Amino acid sequence: MNPTRITAAIDERTANLLEEMREEMNISQSELMRRAIQFYHENKDLLDLDRDKFRERIEMLSSGEHVILDVDHWLLFLKFMETHQDKEDFWKQHEKIAISHAEQLSNDIKTAKDLLERLEFCNFFRLVENTERDFTLVLSSETPRKFVKIFIESFLSSIGLKTEIKEDIGKIRVKLL
């Protein structure tokens, strides 16, 4: 197949980026443009996400501190923990991890909404903001309810926010006091 030739005008900054990437990858400008267009096509759904959320997702995964886990494995793990002889120790360790996360993320998470949006992003629940100080977390299953509740209570308490948390079967309601 004969290649289709195109002409594109780009600004100096873009031209510098193009040259830098071309040299880094040791490929022609044409090959770089083909790859860039293909990459954009394959990832356009991700790129349509809010830029900050996309950046956050990439940072979380690329740091090596987070994993993607099938929801069935996640629920199996939590159900197993409820029957395990050391379950109380698990919940205490979970609380310590939440406090550690609060310390680690203190520059990024300053409000309850910041935390809840991050956890929604992790797919723990769907967040409904009832008011500026009142939220409903809609869980996909009742199994992670305790896990989510302990994490939120411990984290928010650690950053100095007082909350009232109420549990329903498939929801958690968080109210800032």
State what percent of residues in the chain have pLDDT above 90: 65
Query: Is residue 118 within 8 Å of residue 175, measured between CB atoms?
Result: no
Average pLDDT value for residue range 67-77: 88
Bigger pLDDT: 35 vs 56: 35
Average pLDDT value for residue range 19-23: 94
Q: What pTM value is reported for the model?
A: 0.70
Whether residue 81 is found in the same domain as residue 147: yes
CATH code (residue 106): 3.90.1520.10
Whether residue 133 is found in the same domain as residue 81: yes
CA dihedral 139, 141, 143, 149 (to 10 degrees): 10
Domains in the chain: how many in total?
2
Q: Residue 68: what pLDDT?
A: 80
Region of 162 (left: φ > 0; alpha: ψ -120 to 50; beta: rest) is: beta
Bigger pLDDT: 43 vs 155: 155
Q: Residue 50: what pLDDT?
A: 67
Residue 111 phi/psi, 5° resolution? -130, 165
What does the H/E/C string look like for 81-95? HHHCCCHHHHHHHHH
Whether residue 114 is found in the same domain as residue 36: no
* CA dist., res. 53 & res. 49, Å (int): 7
Domain span at 17: 12-48
Out of 45-54, 66-75, 138-147, pick the least confident.
Answer: 45-54
82 domain-assigned:
yes
Q: Is the pLDDT of residue 49 over 70?
A: no
Whether residue 44 is found in the same domain as residue 73: no
Please report which confidence band the pLDDT of residue 57 belongs to, taking 50, 70 and 90 as the band edges. confident
When the pLDDT of each residue in the chain is averaged and rounded to a whole number, the result is 90
